[in-house]
Amino acid sequence: GIWKPHDLRRTGATLMNALGVLPEVAERCLNHMEENKIKRIYQRYGYEAEMRQAWEKLGERLELLTKVAL
């Protein structure tokens, strides 16, 4: 089928969750904003370290998948 950028975002977030990344961290990796205005105001933690780990986990998994495919 035809792949669109949103398909890659969805797949990346799904893989992150499957690798044990917390949903709120995966959402931040997608640059999604918290919908709850109160949480957005009071919970200001940026998840930078967790996001870096999430991207590393995803990268390692994708690297493994491409090595297996070759």
Tens of pLDDT along 20-59?
Answer: 999 999 999 999 988 999 998 999 999 999 999 999 999 9
In degrees, to the nearest 5, what angle opens at C-alpha 14 toward C-alphas 31 and 30?
5
Token readout for 65 is 């998948």
Domains of the chain, residue spans: 5-69
Name the pTM for this structure.
0.84
Buried b (16+ CB within 10 A) or exposed e, 41-61: eeeeeebeebbebbeebbeee
Where does the pLDDT of residue 70 fall: very low under 50, low under 70, confident under 90, or very high at 90 and above? low
